[in-house]
């Protein structure tokens, strides 16, 4: 198995998709000769030609509008928004058209677009370069929202997204672009299936994208304090894998959710609500969240204080009411 960075795994996925299907096209700002800011599209124009991988004007709304037209004409566009917050000018196109065309046409038309977005922080970037915007897309019916945390998942999930008949928001954790791992391209789970990254019996941590690394580091630290923590990697936010998450929480009786985005009305709040509704009689303690603060993204020197950390997760672990026991006499499995 080759050892690849996440950026290289994404590049390999794009290469394999371009080679497998002549209708796949890749475009966006600086994705051609430069190979993208993070070099995810490096060499694609050289190897497949500038009609398959090409640069666009600096106009995100135009990029998505063009992709909609191409998708309605039988192509499979894979477009790059250069940074998370750069995608906001295209938001109206995504919400009003990309997400709704299948429903608007009663299934007569689909727009199999993959919108790649480098997202989240951890790179010392300034405002508009480190947003965690997943909540906007997850709240939009008609979109699938994916966030890999491993090199292998980056390859598999991108190939799955390109093959999907519906539009997919593909969130790539910037801080993980240069993480390395062995990659078996023949192995992978489908979109909508979470993964148990670390088994445990005392509490469940649910995370996605860059927060999975924090969750795993926190589980190791918690083990030194006598707590056996299970870590669930969602892999995709929409569709959401209720079965895996709820099975874990019913086993452990405690749950913490991690996200880099601000806490109010975020994806973590939805996860906490779903766990509370489905696992109430199994819970030994309230579901807790570790998130970014409800502020605009801070300056690079303050970033470490804003992002979820092992210390903040361990503080939540300590608050999980370890001396209490749940009464499961009225527990239900629905």
pLDDT digits (tens, 9 = 90+) for 209-260: 999 999 999 999 999 999 999 999 999 999 999 999 999 999 999 999 999 9
For the cut 60, the answer to whether the pLDDT of residue 327 exceeds it is no
How far is 248 from 166, CA to CA, in rounded Å?
29
3-state helix, strand, coil in the chain (%, to 5): 40, 20, 40
For the cut 90, the answer to whether the pLDDT of residue 127 exceeds it is no
pLDDT digits (tens, 9 = 90+) for 168-216: 999 999 999 999 998 887 767 899 999 999 999 999 999 999 999 999 9
Model confidence band, residue 97 (pLDDT cutoffs 50, 70, 90):
very high
Count, residues in the chain: 334
Q: Mention every residue, 6+ apart, whose C-beta is less than 8 A from residue 63.
A: 27, 28, 29, 56, 79, 81, 90
Residue percentage of the chain with pLDDT more than 70: 96
pLDDT confidence of residue 333: 43
| CA dihedral of 76, 115, 209, 129, whole degrees rounded to 10 | 150
Residues marked active site are found at 129
Tokens of 259: 């996200």
For the cut 60, the answer to whether the pLDDT of residue 331 exceeds it is no
Assign 181 to helix, strand or coil: strand
pLDDT confidence of residue 189: 80
Model confidence band, residue 4 (pLDDT cutoffs 50, 70, 90):
very high
For the cut 70, the answer to whether the pLDDT of residue 6 exceeds it is yes
pLDDT confidence of residue 328: 54
For the cut 60, the answer to whether the pLDDT of residue 334 exceeds it is no
Model confidence band, residue 2 (pLDDT cutoffs 50, 70, 90):
confident
Residue reference for tokens 């497998």: 20
For the cut 80, the answer to whether the pLDDT of residue 125 exceeds it is yes
Lowest model confidence (mean pLDDT) among 60-69, 118-127, 287-296, 324-333:
324-333
Question: Are residues 149 and 209 in contact, defined by beta-carbon separation less than 8 angstroms?
Answer: yes
Q: How many CA atoms lie within 13 A of 317 on its CB side?
A: 26
How far is 267 from 285, CA to CA, in rounded Å?
20
pLDDT confidence of residue 223: 97
More confident: 77 or 334: 77
Tell me how many helices (H) and strands (E) the chain has.
12, 14
pLDDT confidence of residue 187: 67
The structure's pTM equals 0.94
Per the prediction, the chain carries an average pLDDT of 94
Residue reference for tokens 């600096």: 58
For the cut 50, the answer to whether the pLDDT of residue 332 exceeds it is no
């Amino acid at each position: 198995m080759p050892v690849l960075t996440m950026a290289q795994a994404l590049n390999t996925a794009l290469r394999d998709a371009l080679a497998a299907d002549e209708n796949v096209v890749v475009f966006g700002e600086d994705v051609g000769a430069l190979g993208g800011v993070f070099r995810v599209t490096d060499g694609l124009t050289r190897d497949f030609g500038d009609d398959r991988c090409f640069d666009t004007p600096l106009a995100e709304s135009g990029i998505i509008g063009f992709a909609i037209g191409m998708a309605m004409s039988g192509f499979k566009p894979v477009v790059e928004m250069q940074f998370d917050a750069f995608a906001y000018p295209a938001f109206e196109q995504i919400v009003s058209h990309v997400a709704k065309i299948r429903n608007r046409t009663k299934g007569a038309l689909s727009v199999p677009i993959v919108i790649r977005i480098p997202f989240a922080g951890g790179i010392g970037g300034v405002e508009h370069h480190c947003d965690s915007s997943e909540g906007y897309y997850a709240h939009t019916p008609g979109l699938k929202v994916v966030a890999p945390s491993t090199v292998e998942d980056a390859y598999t999930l991108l190939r799955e997204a390109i093959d999907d008949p519906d539009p997919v928001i593909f969130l790539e954790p910037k801080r993980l672009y240069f993480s390395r791992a062995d990659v078996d391209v023949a192995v992978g789970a489908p979109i909508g299936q979470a993964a148990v990254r670390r088994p445990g019996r005392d509490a469940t941590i649910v995370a996605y994208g860059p927060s999975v690394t924090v969750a795993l580091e926190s589980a190791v630290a918690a083990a030194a304090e006598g707590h056996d923590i299970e870590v669930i990697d969602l892999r995709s936010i929409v569709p959401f894998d209720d079965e895996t998450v709820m099975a874990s929480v019913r086993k452990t009786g405690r749950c913490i959710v991690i996200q880099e985005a601000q806490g109010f009305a975020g994806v973590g709040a939805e996860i906490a609500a779903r766990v509370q509704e489905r696992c109430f009689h199994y819970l030994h303690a309230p579901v807790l969240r570790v998130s970014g603060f409800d502020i605009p993204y801070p300056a690079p020197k303050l970033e470490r204080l804003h992002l979820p950390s092992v210390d903040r997760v361990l503080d939540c672990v300590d608050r999980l009411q370890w001396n209490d026991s749940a009464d499961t006499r009225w527990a239900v499995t629905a």
